[in-house]
Amino acid sequence: MAGYTIKKIMPDEICLVPSRPPFFLMIFIALGITFLLLGALTKMKIINPPAQVFYLFIGLGMGFTAAGPLFMIRKMPDRILFNKASGSIQFHEQSVTVELPFSRFSRFDISGKLSHTENAGPSFTLDLVSGTGSRLTLKESSNVMELTVMAEKIVPYIDIDILRQGTLIHEGAQRHTSRNPSSLPDPSLSSVQMRHILDTDTYTWKSRKTLWSLLLVAVIFTGMNIMFFMWAYPMMSPLNIGKYIITGFMALINFLLLFTMAYHAVGTSRVTVSPDYFAFEQIFLGFKLSSRVLPREEIAFISSGFSGDDNKITIFTKAGKELHDTLIIEAARANLRDRSILFSLIPKLMQLRNEIIEIDGSPLYFYEKLLLEKQWADTLNLPEGSGI
């Protein structure tokens, strides 16, 4: 499953590294290459299926071959070290090291994912939780015991509480009181541009994904169009109204995909922070796609993640933090396979969205998000450690 695995256990240190990509992604790549080979054999007339099937082979081949590596691209620390001697957690990423003291963290939390359905994905996460409630997802799995074993292997080094589905299963023997400051990299290493005018700071960064991600999405997008317009469309009767409905739907999907790719290629995100307010905007070719402002007195804390589905920087209002904490408790205790329980949580989830600002964190490295958290918290005069 996604997240981290334990690579090395030493007397004073335990090392975590990103898990290997799921095996089904390798199957995707193998299927894609197989379809492309079938397309090549068809083109060379070594095999002789119906002529239009060539486009089916090429479309499927491009889609499957690109989908595998696309889902393998992850922007997260290359190593996480829990070091007992220094009393800190070290995050290594792109030749940059971030060091956070144990005192910043309160517990490991194993809880259910609110987005889980009976037929989809991992259902539980192992989170490292800060004193203010900010979470770093270390692992996702459908097996609660797998997450429990991993937490129990790490806890001798940091020795904090382990909470499993709302129940305390290990009480940390140590209360880390060290107030050593976090060791963050120089802001000059960040790709985020900052401008300071009077008491207001403006932060701007490109919203683009990596070049490889954009190219892989383009390949999938092209394969999908080849498969429909070159294979399926010609075989449909001109009198079949479904042909035109599907064509219209495909045109809409194409437009949305092109727009999304264009935004990730040239769009920008902008945050404006002053002692009085926090504002976030998404800008594309000079136009604002979205904008949100929160007054300073409503803001409780800042949180960010680097794995799983929660690769975001999230600004919580005080009401949002209370609602978020309530949802975490309810999710931990609920049977997430009971759809009636999931539906009962939907109104609270919708309410929560009105009490937070979510900023896509995928264009940024983890150390960049930590730098932004510290700078924003300082300007907003939030309590120390309001983020991670």
User: Model confidence over 25-45: pLDDT tens digits?
Assistant: 899 999 999 999 999 999 999
pLDDT of residue 21: 83
pLDDT of residue 334: 63
Non-local CB neighbours of 45 within 8 Å, separated by 6+ positions: none
Q: State percent of the chain over pLDDT 90.
A: 38
What are the start-end ranges of the H helices in the chain? Answer: 23-43, 53-72, 144-158, 211-225, 233-235, 241-266, 318-333, 339-353, 366-380
Question: Do residue 35 and residue 88 come from a single domain?
Answer: no
pLDDT of residue 301: 85
Question: Do residue 132 and residue 147 come from a single domain?
Answer: yes
Question: Do residue 191 and residue 297 come from a single domain?
Answer: yes
Average pLDDT for the chain: 85
pLDDT at 210 over 90: no
pLDDT of residue 95: 86
Question: Do residue 84 and residue 166 come from a single domain?
Answer: yes
Question: Do residue 197 and residue 317 come from a single domain?
Answer: yes
Question: Do residue 145 and residue 238 come from a single domain?
Answer: no
Q: What is the C-alpha separation between 137 and 130, in angstroms, rounded?
A: 12
pLDDT of residue 54: 94
pLDDT at 79 over 50: yes
Q: State percent of the chain over pLDDT 70.
A: 88
What residue numbers bound the domain in which 363 lies?
Answer: 79-207+267-380
Q: What is the pTM of this model?
A: 0.80
Tell which residue, 296, 315, 297, has the closest CA to residue 355: 315
Domain end, chosen from 223, 238, 266, is at 266
